[in-house]
Amino acid sequence: SVGYGFDSTTLNAASILHGKYQAGGVSVTQALGGFGAVSAGMNLSQAKYDNGDNKRGHSVSAKYAKSFSDSSDLQLLAYRYQSKGYVEFADFYSTDRYTRYNTKSRYEMRFSQRLGNSNLNLAGWQEDYWWMKGKAIGGDVSLSTTILDGVSVFLNGSYSKRPYLDKPDYSTSLSFSIPFTLGGVRHYSSTGLSYSSSGRMGMNSGVSASPTDRLSYGLNTNLSDKGDRSLSGNLSYGFDAIQTNMMLSQGRDNTTVSGSVSGTILGTADSGLMMTKETGNTLGVARIPGVKGVRINGSAPTNSKGYTVVNLSDYSLNRVSVDMENVPDDLELQTTSFNVVPTEKAVVYREFGAEHVLRYILRVKERDGRILNGGSAQTEQGLDAGFIAGNGVLLMNMLSAPSRVSVERGDGSVCHFSVKGIVPNTGKVQEVYCE
C-alpha cells in the first residue's frame, strides 16, 4: 500500500498480487475539523478457481468518525456494498468458488467511552447476503477497568441473529489480569472464563512478562467442558526494524512449532523510507532532530537522524510523549508531548523541537571563601545566567559556553568569575570564586 497525506486529506492505494487472486483499491479520507472525519473507498478483485471459473467484482465503502470529547468517540461505517463477484482475499479458496454467505451490504456503528480507569465499547451491525433472503443483526459490548493495585478486569458480551441459523447466537466472557513480581521482573497472571449459547464453556489461564523493552514471553493453557486441553508458550524479541516471534503448542493429538517475522516499511517526505517492527493500521513518525537513543511512547530508540515510529489508534485521541528517562541531560525539549486524532491508515508526522544546553551547577563564593548569598548573574554578552540561591548555588543553562560571568550582589556591588576550565553537564557542584 502507499499513501500520501495533505494537511487535512489522506490518499491511499493498496493492492494484493497472488497467482490466482488479484485485488486493488483506492481510498480518500477527509478531516472535517470539529465535525469529525469522513472516508470513502473502492476495491476491485479477480479470483481464479481450479475448475477454470473466474470471479470479478467490486466493493465501495463510506465511513464517518468523530471524537465528541477527550473521553468519547463515535465511529460509524455508514455503508459497505459488495457486488456478487467480489471476493475478499481472506475468503478465497481456489478449490471452492461457492461463497454461501457472500455479503451484499453491511452497516456498522461503534461507540467508545472512557470513564476514569474504565473503558466502555459498544458496537452494532446489520448485513444482508446475495444468496439468501433476510438480514443478519448483531452487537457487542465490552467493559475494561482497573481495580485495587493494578488488577485489570475485562467483561465482554456479543449477540447475533443470522437468517441461516435457527437460533440467535450469543457469548460472554470474563477475565482478570493480576500483576506480580518474580525475580525482580513484573509478571502478569491472567485467568478467563467464557460461555456460548451452544452450551460450550471454556477456561484459560496464563502468565506473561516483558523483562526488557524488546523481550517478552508467555505461557498459556486452555480447557473446555468437552475435555479439550492445550498448552502453549511463546517468545518474542523486537529489533528496531523487525519483530520476531516463536511459539510452541501442545494439544491432545499434536505438537506445533511456529515462528514469524513481521515489520513495516513506511516513509514520509521528511524521514524518507524507514523500516520498523510496528505493524499497526495507523502509525506516527516522531522526530527529535539529531538526537539518537530516545524512546517515544515506548517505541524503538530514535535513529541517528532522530526518527522513530509509534503505533496510533485511528479516530481516537492519542498522546505522543517523549520517555524522559532516555533524554540526555544536555537536551532541553521545547515540548514533551503532542495530542493527535489520526484518521484510518494515516501516517502522522510530529517533530519535537530541542536544543542542546550546557548545564553548570556552581557554588559561588566570595574571595575570602564566604558563600555568596543571593545575586543575579549575567554573561559577558549580557545574557541572563540565573540567580544565586541562599546557599550560594547558581544553576546556569547556556546554549554556548560563556567565558566570564558577572554577579550583581544585593547591595548593588558587582563581582566576576571565570568559567574557563569548568566542565558542563557533570551533574556535580563545582566551586568558583567571585572577585
The answer to whether residues 339 and 389 belong to one domain is no
Residue 120 lies inside a defined structural domain of this protein: yes
Local confidence band at 69 (pLDDT 50, 70, 90 cut-offs): confident
CA–CA separation, 109 and 139 (whole Å): 9
Concatenated DSSP letters for 217-266?
A: EEEEEEEETTS-EEEEEEEEEE-SS-EEEEEEEE-SS-EEEEEEEE-EEE
Q: What is the CATH number of the domain that holds 285?
A: 2.60.40.2610
Residue 91 is given by DSSP the state G
Q: Are residues 328 and 418 in the same domain?
A: no
The domain in which residue 365 lies consists of 358-434
| pLDDT, tens digit (0-9, with 9 covering 90-100), for 242-286 | 999 999 999 878 899 999 999 988 877 778 888 899 888 888 999
Predicted pLDDT at 417: 93
Number of domains in the chain: 3
* Better-scored residue on pLDDT, 317 or 18: 18
pLDDT score of 57: 95
- pLDDT, residue 12, reads 87
Is residue 395 in some structural domain? Answer: yes
The rounded mean pLDDT for the chain is 89
309 & 398 share domain: no
Quick: pLDDT tens for 385-412. Answer: 889 987 889 989 888 889 899 999 888 8
Answer yes or no: do 319 and 364 share one domain.
no
Last residue of a domain, one of 95, 113, 130: 130
Taking phi over 0 as left and psi of -120 to 50 as alpha, with beta for the rest, 334 belongs to alpha
Query: Which amino acid does the sequence have at 170?
Result: Y
**Paired strand residues for 61:** 41, 80
Q: Single out the residue of 430, 386, 428, 432 nearest to residue 408, CA to CA.
A: 386
pLDDT in tens, 203-237: 999 999 999 988 999 999 998 877 788 999 999 99
Same domain, 1 and 120: yes
What is Dmax (Cα atoms) for the chain?
A: 101
Radius of gyration of the chain (CA): 30
> According to the model, what pLDDT value does residue 100 have?
55
Helices (H) and strands (E) in the chain, counts: 0, 33
Residue 202 lies in a domain: no
Are 372 and 365 in contact by the 8 Å Cβ rule? The answer is yes
- Decide if 144 is inside a domain: no
The last residue of one of the domains, among 320, 340, 356, is 356
d(CA 173, CA 189): 17
Residue 374: CATH number of its domain: 2.60.40.2070
Tell me which residue of 131, 194, 199, 195 sits closest to 167, measured CA to CA: 199
Q: What is the pLDDT of residue 101?
A: 63
Is the pLDDT at 126 greater than 80? The verdict is yes
Residues 381 and 272 in one domain: no
338 and 368 both lie in a single domain: no
Q: Are residues 346 and 376 in the same domain?
A: no
Q: What pLDDT does 97 receive?
A: 62
Does residue 124 share a domain with residue 68?
yes
Residue pLDDT, tens place only, 338-348: 988 787 778 88
Mean pLDDT of 8-31: 90
User: Is residue 232 a part of any domain in this protein?
Assistant: no
Indicate if 98 and 37 belong to the same structural domain. yes
What's the pLDDT at 58? Answer: 96
Instruction: Identify the pLDDT of residue 24.
Output: 96
d(CA 146, CA 116): 9
Q: Are 334 and 353 in contact (CB under 8 A)?
A: yes
**Domain check: are 377 and 345 in the same one?**
no
CA distance 41 to 80: 9
- Give the pLDDT confidence score for residue 216 in this predicted structure: 96
CA 400 to chain centre: 37
Rounded distance, CA 203 to CA 221, Å? 8
Confidence class for position 51, pLDDT limits 50, 70, 90: confident
Residue 174 maps to a domain: no
Asked whether the predicted pLDDT for residue 123 surpasses 90, the reply is yes
Range 58-85 average pLDDT = 84
**Residue 284 and residue 408 in one domain:** no
Rounded Cα distance, 303 and 297, in Å: 15
Q: Lowest-confidence range among 48-52, 169-173, 203-207, 233-237?
A: 48-52
Q: Is residue 5 part of a domain?
A: yes
Question: Is the pLDDT confidence value at 420 over 70?
Answer: yes
pLDDT of residue 409: 86
CB 295 within 8 A of CB 326: yes
Provide the whole-model pTM. Answer: 0.71
**Alpha-carbon torsion, ordered 305, 311, 315, 316, to 10 deg:** -100
Under the banding of pLDDT at 50, 70 and 90, the label for residue 36 is confident
Domain end position, chosen among 301, 322, 356: 356
Does residue 152 form part of some domain? no
What does the pLDDT look like over 323-363, one tens digit per residue?
A: 998 888 888 898 999 988 787 778 888 999 988 888 899 99
Please spell the DSSP secondary structure of 193-223, one letter per residue.
EEEETTS-EEEEEEEEE-SSSSEEEEEEEEE
